[in-house]
Amino acid sequence: MIKKIFPWIVFVLLFALLIIGFSMKDSTNNYLSELMKNQASSEITLSEKALIDSLYNYSANGLKYEITFLEFGATGCAACKRMESVMEEFQSKYPNRVNVVFLNILLPESQNLMKLYGIAAIPTQVLLNKEGKEFFRHTGYISTVELEQEINKPEIQNY
């Protein structure tokens, strides 16, 4: 009798763990993100914030963009590969409004920015306003339509 019931019990427990894991993925990602941010020393934080300010604070540097679309990903990542078409579409649809920047997390020069932004999973999209401040973040694949909804919200238009 136990030999017949045991596989079903294991199956139900594994299925329950899968459901719990899926339902907690956002809170787990947020927790890991905070751990990543805590790994950044104050020196790294200051230098990377200065870099972000110099490159993506369009109010200060005079560039005409309104939004920066930072895409943290890697070559060989399937979801990152899917995001390439979204990035290309944004570059062609909003050439003067959105600055699309791909950051390959496998490169050493991207490591400090990963810590600054607390990137714990890829692909992760971070949208910055014209002052270089983060206003939206998403982990995983996100469609062009969903991203357009974020950049076209009234509060973004009026900052």
Amino acid symbol at 3: K
Is residue 59 pLDDT above 80, yes or no?
Answer: yes
Task: Examine the pLDDT at 37 and tell me if it is beyond 80.
Answer: no
Read off the pLDDT band of 135 (50, 70, 90): very high
pTM of model > 0.85: no
Q: Domain 2-157 sits in which CATH superfamily? A: Glutaredoxin (3.40.30.10)
Contact criterion met (CB below 8 Å) for 123 and 80: yes
Digit-coded pLDDT (tens) for 106-122: 999 998 999 899 998 89
Q: Where are the domains of the chain?
A: 2-157
Cβ-proximal residues to 26 (8 Å cutoff; 6+ apart), any chain: none
Q: Tell me if 104 sits within 8 A of 110, measured CB to CB.
A: yes
For residues 130 and 61, give the distance between their C-alpha atoms in angstroms, rounded to a whole number. 10
